[in-house]
Amino acid sequence: MPSVVYLVRSPLHTLSPALFSGEGSAVVLSLEDPLLPGKVLRATNNTRFTEGETLSYDQVLKILLGSKKVIAL
């Protein structure tokens, strides 16, 4: 599981890329589309996720509960 999960409700291009830079494993999840449960916007190489991957509500919940830190933006 990733050590840091960023939850994004606004478009990614409106946020500073400096917010997502860091060491370790991190995943940026988009919850901006009400029709999709979740979408992976960015993922470091240390995670099992790929950019553009869509996730179910169950998968999103497991990621949030399994991560060490969750940051909502």
DSSP assignment of the chain equals --SEEEEE-S-GGGS-GGGG--SS-EEEEE---TTSSEEEEEE-TTSS--TT-EE-HHHHHHHHHHSSEEEE-
> Given this model, what pLDDT does residue 20 score?
63
pTM of the model: 0.78
As a whole number of angstroms, the distance between CA 68 and CA 22 comes to: 14
Phi then psi dihedrals of residue 68, to 5 deg = -80, -30
User: pLDDT of 10-64, one tens digit each?
Assistant: 776 677 766 666 656 788 888 887 777 889 988 887 788 888 899 998 999 999 9
> Given this model, what pLDDT does residue 19 score?
66
> Given this model, what pLDDT does residue 35 score?
79
Contact (CB, 8 A) for 32 and 11: yes
> Given this model, what pLDDT does residue 55 score?
92
